[in-house]
């Protein structure tokens, strides 16, 4: 981990509705030079240098001078480069336990996904080692990856300079996180979209072709269609009765709106709503996707036949006839196969926005 000296940042009103507050006690505590009460702020930037075929690492190096010029001399900017899968989780946990003011994911949705998972341990949010000094570590994002779908929900561009300006302004708000459980398995957290069956299978294949940029999603979808069969699934929503949904093609559980390189699959979702949007596609054929692809991308597919949408704070999903072949993924990361339970943790993370 490399730390660089940086500056005080200013305050601005946040853009979210829930628990809006400036970072006066965290990132943007404006103290006068030489004040005895001033404290160097610790910002940890978790960078995936191999992301987007190495573009993330190259862009990050170009950003550092601008970062220094905008954040000055009163912050410790700690640069942590990931070396492989799950490394960002470990970096984030260590940073929070050491009392970092913010952990900023630099990369795509995969890096963000790992950083979010690093905010938790043993089913609970991680806290600073010294509990006598209350401090909330915030989550930040500089989107530099292949998809960067989470940022789209807020209308954020892929311009890293814009992302740095959000950090400089220092506004934050509470956001929701989804948690996925399986009997006898570990907890898994997601911030964007979890999905089941065809779309998850497509994501699994797409991950092998990231070197082709957004084209990887097209290649993944084509591979997923080979041998695909719609499946009858059982759903239990908000602890209610079990319901059978026949011929499910894909089921998407959105904490945010976009996945798959810009597809607005859950257009009513928002990570400060306290609920998921659940969208179910039933009995879709390959030609349905071709005919309706534009509606899936612009978010107008909810009025299409065989598309259902509902709001939920929890959902359990099982196969009617167990085949152990229905894929599950979250934030583009393959998790295995059904069954799975999904529930929401309202306002559990503070995010720089």
Which residues are catalytically annotated?
A: 109
Whole-number Å distance between alpha carbons of 311 and 238: 9
DSSP 192-255: SEEEEEHHHHHHHHHGGGGGGTTHHHHHHHHHHHTT---EEEEEEETT--EEEEEEEEEEEEES
Q: Are strands 102-107 and 138-143 parallel, antiparallel or unpaired?
A: parallel
Distances in whole angstroms, Cα of residue 295 to Cα of each of 266, 298, 337: 12, 5, 28
Taking residue 299's Cβ as centre, other Cβ atoms within 10 Å add up to 15
Contact 296, 309 (CB under 8 A): no
Contact 322, 343 (CB under 8 A): no
Contact 295, 288 (CB under 8 A): no
Phi-psi region of 214 (alpha: psi -120 to 50; beta: other; left: phi over 0): alpha
Contact 351, 172 (CB under 8 A): yes
Contact 109, 20 (CB under 8 A): no
């Amino acid at each position: 981990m490399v730390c660089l000296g940086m500056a005080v940042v200013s305050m601005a009103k946040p853009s979210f509705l829930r628990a809006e507050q400036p970072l006066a006690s965290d990132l943007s505590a404006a103290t006068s030079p030489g004040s005895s009460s001033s404290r160097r702020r610790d910002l940890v930037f978790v960078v995936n240098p191999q992301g987007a075929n190495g573009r993330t690492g190259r862009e990050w190096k170009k950003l550092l001078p601008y970062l220094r010029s905008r954040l000055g001399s009163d912050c410790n900017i700690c640069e942590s480069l990931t070396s492989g899968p799950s490394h960002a989780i470990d970096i984030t946990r260590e940073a929070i336990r050491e009392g970092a003011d913010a952990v900023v994911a630099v990369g795509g949705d995969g890096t963000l996904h790992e950083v979010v998972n690093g905010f938790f341990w043993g089913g609970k949010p991680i806290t600073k080692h010294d509990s006598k000094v209350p401090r909330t570590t915030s989550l930040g994002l500089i989107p530099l990856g292949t998809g960067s779908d989470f940022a789209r929900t807020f209308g954020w561009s892929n311009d890293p300079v814009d992302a740095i300006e959000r950090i400089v302004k220092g506004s934050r708000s509470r956001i929701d996180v989804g948690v996925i459980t399986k009997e006898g398995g570990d907890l898994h957290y997601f911030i964007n979209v979890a999905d089941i069956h065809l779309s998850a299978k497509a994501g699994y294949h797409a991950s092998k072709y990231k070197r082709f940029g957004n084209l990887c999603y097209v290649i993944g979808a084509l591979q997923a269609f080979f041998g695909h069969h719609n499946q009858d699934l059982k759903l239990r929503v908000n602890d209610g009765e079990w319901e059978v949904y026949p011929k499910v093609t894909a089921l998407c559980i959105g904490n945010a709106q976009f996945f798959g390189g810009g597809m607005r699959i859950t257009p009513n979702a928002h990570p400060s709503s306290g609920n998921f949007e659940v969208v179910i596609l039933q009995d879709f054929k390959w030609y349905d996707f071709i005919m309706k692809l534009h509606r899936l991308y612009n978010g107008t597919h909810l009025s299409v036949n065989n598309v259902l949408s509902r709001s939920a704070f929890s959902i359990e999903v099982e196969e009617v006839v167990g085949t152990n072949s229905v894929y599950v993924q979250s934030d583009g990361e393959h998790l295995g196969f059904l069954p799975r339970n999904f529930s929401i943790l309202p306002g559990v993370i503070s995010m720089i926005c």
